[in-house]
Amino acid sequence: MGGLLQDGLRRGYAVPSFCVWNAETVDTVLRVAQACRAPVIVMTGPGEGLLSYAALADTARALAARYSVPAALHLDHGDTMAAVEGCLAARFTSVMLDYSTRPFAENAAALRQVVAMARPRGVTVEGEIGAVGRVDEVTGEGKGHTALTDPAETRAYVEATGVDALAVSFGNLHGNYPAPPTLDFERLAKLRDAAGVPLVLHGGSGTPPDDLRRAIGLGIAKVNVASELNRALREAVHARWNAGEKLWVPSALSEGMAAFGAIAEKWFRLTGAAGKA
């Protein structure tokens, strides 16, 4: 993944990273990437996969061999060292251990350990400093943790860990925004200068195109997309169900995958990745 992100930084685009959970979602993303001639990252995280990490990795490799675009397989928001170790054993090409809600020293020590395990394998490591929360925290419907990333802590974190990419919090949130987010671009510029590594935008879904382009110009090289994909697939299947038709599952899922693929194509174009492979 590191090479894809570095190319994005050099050429002024970001690589979209799409949430996947089975063969159909992986193949849809790769097929659309091929059509768009775009580099791509497919990712999965705790509780998201219908397949085990090992089975998903085997599936993704088999499918990726059918296409010619560069692709990476990423562990998103790994929550335990065991998950990271399992994905390394399964030959994921990048891993994230998200200890962003833990004390700085604990977060840094854990990511330093992940880097020590991953680097000899040629695996990219993503960390997070600050904490990207969820939309429902802001609307008062849930409990969680959101903290904007501090530029001074960012420099210390990268130096202490050696991570290859860094997820940052500058007003972005996971989930479906009820209104456009208010992004702190002055903070993002400082984070870019402090980090010296590609930055990652978590909570890409719903980001206004102008804000997205500005963020990419300030060091964002990877954009995570999950909520829009899930919503498109869910709405396609619900439309079949609510129409009172017999829900022949293969046909409904086929329509769902078409909707899923349309969102992927949108993001290849929004991030500027289309045509870069």
18-73 tens-digit pLDDT? 999 999 999 999 999 999 999 999 999 998 878 999 999 999 999 999 999 999 99
**C-alpha–C-alpha distance, residues 82 and 87, integer Å:** 9
Q: Which residues pair with 172 in a beta bridge?
A: none
- Provide the residue ranges of all domains of the chain, joining segments of one domain with +: 2-270
Furthest C-alpha separation in the chain: 58
Query: What's the pLDDT score for residue 218?
Result: 98
Catalytic residue among 7, 27, 58, 76: 76
The backbone torsions φ and ψ at residue 172, rounded to the nearest 5 degrees and listed phi first, read -80, 150
Tokens 């925290």 correspond to 137
Architecture of domain 2-270: Alpha-Beta Barrel (3.20)
Q: Are 202 and 174 in contact (CB under 8 A)?
A: yes
Residue 184 known to be catalytic: no
Q: How far apart are CA 161 and CA 152, in angstroms?
A: 15
DSSP 180-220: -----HHHHHHHHHHH-S-EEES--TT--HHHHHHHHHTTE
C-alpha span between 34 and 30 (Å, rounded): 6
Tokens representing 109 are: 């020590």
- What pTM did the predictor assign? 0.93
d(CA 33, CA 236): 21
CA distance 11 to 4: 11
- Give the chain's residues under pLDDT 70: 136-145, 244-245
Distance CA 156, CA 276 (A): 33
Residue type at position 55: A
Report yes or no: 107 and 129 within 8 Å, Cβ to Cβ. Answer: yes
How many angstroms separate the Cα of 167 from the Cα of each of 51, 75, 97, 224, 270? Answer: 26, 13, 11, 10, 19
Q: What is the pLDDT of residue 142?
A: 46
Number of residues that make up the chain = 277
* Rounded Cα–Cα distance for residues 189 and 182 (Å): 15
